[in-house]
Amino acid sequence: MTVRLLTNIGRLWTGHDVCSNASILVHNDRIAWVGRAADLPQSVPGVVDDITDVDHVENLGGALVTPGLIDAHTHPVYAGNRYAELAMRSGGSTASAITAAGGGIGSTVTVTRGTDPWTLCNGVRERLREWLLSGTTTVEAKTGYHLTRDGELADVRLLRELEKEPMMPRVHVTFMAAHVVPPEYFGRQRDYVEAVAAWCADAAAAGADSVDVYCDDGHFSAEEARWVLASGRNVGLLPRVHAGAYSKRGAVQLAAEMGCASADLLHHVTDEDIALMARYGVPAVVCPGTALQQGQLPPVRRLLSQHVPVALGSDHNPGHCGITSMSLVISLAVAAFGMSVGDALRAATLGGAQVLGAPDRGILAPGRLADIVQWDADHEGAFAWAFGLKPRRVWRGGTPVQ
């Protein structure tokens, strides 16, 4: 057993409030005590009989400390890149022109299918490591670039195994075979939807936590999404939906009807959609990097004003956004969405924990996981200034990340 005391914390942002001149006592992978240093008890029953007997004392030099950040929306399991496509899009090329030139999701599917498992695994490992080193201790990670039963299940197992490796973030695995219809099912979309629905039980057995469907033009209808999400929910997977990224296809109404764990992207939601999300308690996951690329910003301030829970995601994927820094996402959310620093930081911690169904993280409090970040700043306002604030140290479950 290890007892670690983090002291001389200049400003502690716990998730609920702010405490100056603070300390945190960590017992193994959990927080045993947190509060003002002046109130640190001399003993904590079941943890340490005398505070002078702790195993490690770490002086944080008056820095800002927060919970580990949570990225609530990513697509990290892929091979290759789509840089040429990004250049075409930035020059005004249409989606059809990009597809005709060999771009689009299908190009990533082709490359990923043709990549050996070892190379694919190394690429995903490097990306996950980048998240952790930048202060993100939990990552929601979707499959969706194999689009075959065996490939998608292998991706679920890959993510689950990588999480067990030293110095990896915690991973919430989302099964997303319903990303787009693969080429071998051309003209047989209903057959593919039926197949994906049948794979959900195997995905749950392989270690998936959630199931997601891309409900939009060129992807899947609300009726098709309902079929897959219901199949996933029946085997214990949390239902999620890509809603309103490019158009309005009834995805938000579906999320409300099915009690989805999150409705993501939301670039085209209406006031009626927001009212539905508020009424049925459907959290929103918004991704400023992708929203800025597409020139369509979700109405985040309206979501917050209607008390819709909001989480932040990078939407890391090969076709739009390569961000692996949630501190950068926070900065972009403040600048692009008009969020306050407090709201954005809360969305990247407590908000993420809520949409992932993970009440053991996202806040610094006794009994919660000791996922902690010391930042290169003395106030959370630095997130709005640095556009990618750097951590000085990261602890995952009380263990320092090297």
Question: How many angstroms separate the CA atoms of 311 and 291, rounded?
Answer: 14
pTM for the model stands at 0.97
Portion of the chain with pLDDT greater than 90, in percent = 94
pLDDT band at 70 (very low <50, low <70, confident <90, very high): very high
Domains present along the chain, CATH in parentheses: 3-67+363-400 (2.30.40.10), 69-355 (3.20.20.140)
pLDDT in tens, 14-64: 998 999 999 999 999 999 999 999 999 999 999 999 998 999 999 999 999
Query: Is the per-residue pLDDT at 246 higher than 80?
Result: no
Structure tokens at 381: 């306002």
Average pLDDT, the chain: 96
pLDDT in tens, 313-362: 999 999 999 999 999 999 999 999 999 999 999 999 999 999 999 999 99
Question: 183 vs 110, 148, 173, 352, CA distance in Å?
Answer: 10, 11, 25, 34
pLDDT band at 187 (very low <50, low <70, confident <90, very high): very high
Query: Is the per-residue pLDDT at 94 higher than 90?
Result: no
